[in-house]
Amino acid sequence: MKSKSILGTLCSILLVYVSVAQQSSPQAIGMLNSNGTARVNGTAAPSGATIFVGDHVVSSDGASTALSMSSGSRLILAGPGALQMGRVGEQLTARLENGSLAVLSRASAPIVIEAAGTRISGGKGDAVYAITVSGNNLQVMTSKGEAAVEGAGRTIEVAEGKTLEATMAPPNSADPQQSPPPPAAGGYLSFFTFDRVVLIATAAVSVAALSVAIKSLVRTCRATGSPSTVKCD
């Protein structure tokens, strides 16, 4: 009887340990492919490497690094750049620290991009858009669907064929050139304010690698009905 009691206690402890281990273990969210050098958490990563929540991805100059999410969304770092993958609740996020990023966001499982103190997401349908960050300067160009750029107290919709160019100012800062503050506790974004913003018709993409990345994403999509509704294979 005593042996059964001890065995039962050990089984209970084991079940609790397994549950805690599962909760604390990294969550796989996608796969990496690169035609150049890509590093994940400081280590060179081969094509086909699994990407997890919390991974820091760096793409080298001349490389094109694609992240295919299990949800169906895709991200392509065009040339040198860095991404921090994350999750807030059930929402998958990617913080673009610098560089140019092409995004295919599925309406069924959208991914939110944090860049220059803003949150950028697709509209109601699937969307293809590109983001470039240089310091506090932000550019968002929409190729398919629409993108919503949310800053402090303001959300700007970037329709298909439009480009947003903005300079973001850190909260309560008199100097818009000040370096961005670190991420807020718990992974939540500290929103910047729009110091300067303009919406223009989409011009030619200045970064050749970004142009190629956008074309790669657009080729996987077909417009149906409204221009802002894109179905992706």
d(CA 93, CA 109): 11
| Distance (Å, whole) CA 175 – CA 94 | 26
- In this prediction, residues 56-74 reach a mean pLDDT of 93
What's the CA gap between 37 and 64, in Å, rounded?
9
C-alpha neighbours within 13 Å on the C-beta side of residue 160: 16
- 44 token code pair: 């060179």
Alpha-carbon distance of 205 to 187, in angstroms, equals 31
Whether the per-residue pLDDT at 137 is higher than 50: the answer is: yes
Helix, strand, coil fractions of the chain, as percent rounded to 5: 15, 50, 35
What integer pLDDT is reported at residue 29 of this predicted model? 94
Domain ranges of the chain: 23-232
Mean pLDDT of 140-169: 93
| Through-space distance between the first and last CA atoms of the chain, rounded to whole angstroms | 60
Average pLDDT, the chain: 81
Instruction: Render pLDDT for 177-191 as a digit per residue (tens, 0 to 9).
Output: 444 444 443 455 789
Query: Which pairing describes strands 91-105 and 127-134: parallel, antiparallel, or unpaired?
Result: antiparallel
Identify which of 72-86, 162-176, 193-207 has the greatest average pLDDT.
72-86
- Calpha distance 87→224 (Å, rounded): 31
Q: How many residues does the chain have?
A: 233
Residues 111 and 93 sit within 8 Å (Cβ to Cβ): yes
| pLDDT above 70 coverage of the chain, percent | 74
CATH code at 23-232: 2.60.120.1440
**Number of Cβ within a 10 Å radius of residue 189:** 17
> Residue 180's pLDDT is what?
47
Q: Which residue has the tokens 């996608």?
A: 30
Detail the DSSP E strand segments found in 16-175: 28-34, 38-40, 43-44, 50-52, 56-59, 64-69, 74-78, 81-88, 91-105, 112-115, 118-122, 127-134, 137-144, 147-151, 154-158, 162-169
Lowest-pLDDT choice from 39-53, 90-104, 165-179: 165-179
Predicted structure pTM score: 0.78
Compare 233 and 191 and report the one with higher pLDDT: 191
Collapse the DSSP code of 6 into the 3-class scheme (helix H, G, I; strand E, B; otherwise coil) and give the result: helix
Q: What's the CA gap between 23 and 104, in Å, rounded?
A: 29
